[in-house]
Structure formats: structure tokens, C-alpha cells
């Protein structure tokens, strides 16, 4: 079983120890995985596990591996291919919106970048958007390009895995935003019926505005209760 150290500067919230075990077990199927024990998540962790499974595609989108689970400690365990890391796909100049898939028009990119700048100015949180079609992706190169930290939301729009909306958030964001918000957002604007009918660009724009509305709400028991 190989260990892959990704060294991200913040903890990924879309995985758990149980999930790491499940994915690692799946990756070892060629070695009689049917005889390996599979951990059963505790009932208190069931909701988190479901959210984790829904967000599985983000690990593929960022790392480019076929089977990779990133634990809370930042270490991934899998017999997997080397992650995608193509800095040549990054733009020459810094931008908060990278569209290597061609989903967005120039006007849409500018509007989203303006909204993202406003979010960061008003809330201190950094939203970063990557639109791609795996495996045509800069992959892990975005970590350094965007200087991802614990106040960063990485939004990967990729229809390859069905639901086009994939999110990963830093620890500070995770403290203020309910975890259920991200799964509800993906369910509303990321499902295949929505983006096929309205277009990938519509899903991306709707998601950015929903995130903007959520981040601007006062932190409390009911913040971000609705996806607007």
C-alpha cells in the first residue's frame, strides 16, 4: 500500500478515516480485497460519510488519480497513478477564475471574478473557480498558483463524474459554513439534469452566487440554511 503525501496547507474536509479505508480497500481489489475487513462507520459519522461519498469526485479532479483518499492529516493512501500536475495549463497572470474547459464566455469570467473579489473584500474568504474536463486539468498546480490556505474555497466545475459541482474548503471556512450547505448546493445546481438543460456555465454562475449569499450571512445556527 503506497502512501502519497500531498502537503496541502489546509485540511481537506471531504474525507474521513472510514472513507480512507474504504477507498484504499477498493484500490487493492486485485489483491483479493474481498477478504479484507471493511470498517463500518459509526452512526454519528453516517451523515459525514454520505457527504464524503458525494464529494468523492473532488479528489479525482484535484489529484488526477484513479483512487486517492486524503485524510485529515493530509496523507493519502492508495495504489494509484501519479496525480495530474500540469502548470502549463495555468494562465500567465493571476486570476481567480480558470476555465480550461471553455464553459464560460469572457464576459462571464469577468463577472465571476468581480463577484469573487467582492466576496474576499467583504468576508475575508477566498473563492477560487476551476472549470475543467478531466484529465485536461492543471491539477495540483493550482495549489501554489492560488496559494490555497485555510480560508480558501476551491470550486472545481467538472462534469466528468456526473455532478458538475465539487468543493473543498479550508478549516476556517468549515467553522462558519455548515457542511450540509455544500452537498445541498451540489444537489441543486450540479446535478446532471440541471447542467445539461441549462449549460455548464449556468451551474457555475448559480453556484458562485449561492456561495456569495451564504458567506455574507451572519454566522449562526441557521446560516446558509437555504441555497439561494
Q: What is the pLDDT of residues 120-136, one digit of tens each?
A: 999 999 999 999 999 89
Evaluate whether residue 222 is within a structural domain: no
Number of H helices, E strands in the chain: 9, 6
Structural domain boundaries, residue 118: 87-215
Evaluate whether residue 82 is within a structural domain: no
Evaluate whether residue 224 is within a structural domain: no
Evaluate whether residue 137 is within a structural domain: yes
What is the tens place of the pLDDT at every residue in 16-67? 333 223 223 333 344 444 454 545 555 555 455 444 444 444 444 444 422 2
Q: Which of 77, 109, 126 is the last residue of a domain?
A: 77
Number of domains composing the chain: 2
| Local confidence band at 83 (pLDDT 50, 70, 90 cut-offs) | low
Q: What is the pLDDT of residue 84?
A: 82
pTM for this model (two decimals): 0.69
How far, in Å, CA of 167 to CA of 34, rounded? 31
Q: Where are the alpha helices (DSSP H) in the chain?
A: 17-27, 46-54, 56-63, 106-123, 141-146, 171-176, 179-189, 192-198, 200-215
Amino acid at each position: 500500500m503506497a502512501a502519497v503525501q500531498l502537503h496541502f496547507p489546509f485540511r481537506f474536509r471531504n474525507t474521513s478515516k472510514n472513507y480512507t479505508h474504504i477507498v484504499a480497500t477498493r484500490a487493492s481489489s486485485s489483491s483479493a480485497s474481498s477478504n479484507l475487513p471493511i470498517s463500518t462507520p459509526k452512526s454519528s459519522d453516517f451523515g459525514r460519510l454520505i457527504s464524503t461519498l458525494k464529494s468523492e469526485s473532488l479528489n479525482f479532479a484535484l489529484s488526477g488519480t484513479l483512487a486517492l483518499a486524503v485524510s485529515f492529516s493530509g496523507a493519502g493512501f492508495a495504489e494509484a497513478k501519479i496525480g495530474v500536475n500540469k502548470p502549463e495549463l495555468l494562465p500567465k497572470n493571476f486570476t481567480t477564475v480558470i476555465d480550461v474547459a471553455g464553459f464560460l464566455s469572457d464576459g462571464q469570467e469577468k463577472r465571476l471574478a468581480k463577484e469573487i473579489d467582492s466576496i474576499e473584500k467583504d468576508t475575508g474568504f477566498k473563492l477560487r473557480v476551476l472549470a475543467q474536463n478531466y484529465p485536461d486539468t492543471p491539477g495540483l498546480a493550482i495549489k501554489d498558483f492560488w496559494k490555497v490556505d485555510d480560508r480558501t474555497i476551491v470550486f472545481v466545475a467538472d462534469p466528468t463524474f456526473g455532478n458538475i459541482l465539487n468543493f473543498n474548503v479550508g478549516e476556517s471556512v468549515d467553522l462558519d459554513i455548515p457542511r450540509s450547505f455544500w452537498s445541498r448546493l451540489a444537489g441543486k445546481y450540479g446535478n446532471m439534469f440541471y447542467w445539461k438543460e441549462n449549460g455548464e456555465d449556468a451551474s457555475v454562475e448559480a453556484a458562485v452566487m449561492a456561495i456569495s449569499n451564504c458567506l455574507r450571512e451572519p454566522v449562526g445556527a441557521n446560516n446558509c440554511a437555504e441555497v439561494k
